[in-house]
Amino acid sequence: SQQGEEDPQALSIQEGENATMNCSYKTSINNLQWYRQNSGRGLVHLILIRSNEREKHSGRLRVTLDTSKKSSSLLITASRAADTASYFCATGDYGQNFVFGPGTRLSVLP
Amino acid sequence: ETGVTQTPRHLVMGMTNKKSLKCEQHLGHNAMYWYKQSAKKPLELMFVYNFKEQTENNSVPSRFSPECPNSSHLFLHLHTLQPEDSALYLCASSQQNALSDEQYFGPGTRLTVT
């Protein structure tokens, strides 16, 4: 079964609004990473959060991790049209597994 | 630019052809990866190389054959592919391995099998 699953599958907001995406996973993890992908291009790493961390910030991005609920969230504040992309979470466990979720497709309307 | 390049960017091949995808990283990383991204499916990890040694092969059909001659270059040799193999093939690298490091992705090769 899939390790990471993002929610919602698609999200459409107005420029300036905040966007929140969630990721749930099933097994114990070593770390969780968020990536962004513009249409048909490679992925760009956004944030890595380790299992002993609860929150990390990077510019307008805020990631939280709740290991008791096996979930993470990515918040993009004051969104811009350029934030339009697909966002993926990926989890690494204590073995050799590294699994991406299906992604959330974010559309920021000007 | 992420420091990871892939060629070609687009490839159309017949089912009887043999072709190769190339990936090169200029970041001094020790781990390299091949991923397959099909429409409406999650990114699938295909192969992992650490220090030129293959450490992961996620039940990939033998018509896909990876090669890692050195820590900077990674190839994916393709032969007798099927139309369902049409996808975006992404290469990535990281300092050590994905469990603790962020991955840097190339722009991908869009493969169409006719």
Task: Render pLDDT for A19-63 as a digit per residue (tens, 0 to 9).
Answer: 999 999 988 888 999 999 998 788 999 999 999 999 999 999 999
DSSP three-state, residue B85: helix
Look at residue A64 in the predicted model and tell me its pLDDT.
98
Neighbours of A74 (CB within 10 A): 24
Instruction: Kindly compute the dihedral angle of the four CA atoms of residues A59, B99, B71, B2, in this order, to the nearest 10 degrees.
Output: -20
The CA radius of gyration of chain A, in Å to the nearest whole number, is 13
- Report how far apart, in Å, the C-alpha atoms of A87 and of each of A6, A42, A57, A76, B38 are: 8, 12, 16, 11, 16
Q: Which of B42, B56, B108 sits opposite A42 (nearest CB)?
A: B108
Average pLDDT, chain B: 91
Q: Which of B102, B106, B108 sits opposite A33 (nearest CB)?
A: B102
A47, β-bridge pairs: A34
Q: Which of A2, A45, A48 sits opposite B104 (nearest CB)?
A: A45
A51 CB burial (10 A radius; 0-12, 13-18, 19+):
middle
Task: Render pLDDT for B87-97 as a digit per residue (tens, 0 to 9).
Answer: 999 999 999 77
Task: Render pLDDT for B60-92 as a digit per residue (tens, 0 to 9).
Answer: 999 999 999 998 999 999 999 999 999 999 999
Which residue on chain B is closest to A92 by alpha carbon? Answer: B99
The CA radius of gyration of chain B, in Å to the nearest whole number, is 13
Inspect the interface and report whether the beta carbons of A45 and B90 lie closer than 8 Å.
no
Inspect the interface and report whether the beta carbons of A99 and B45 lie closer than 8 Å.
yes
- Report how far apart, in Å, the C-alpha atoms of A11 and of each of A76, A85, B76 are: 12, 10, 35
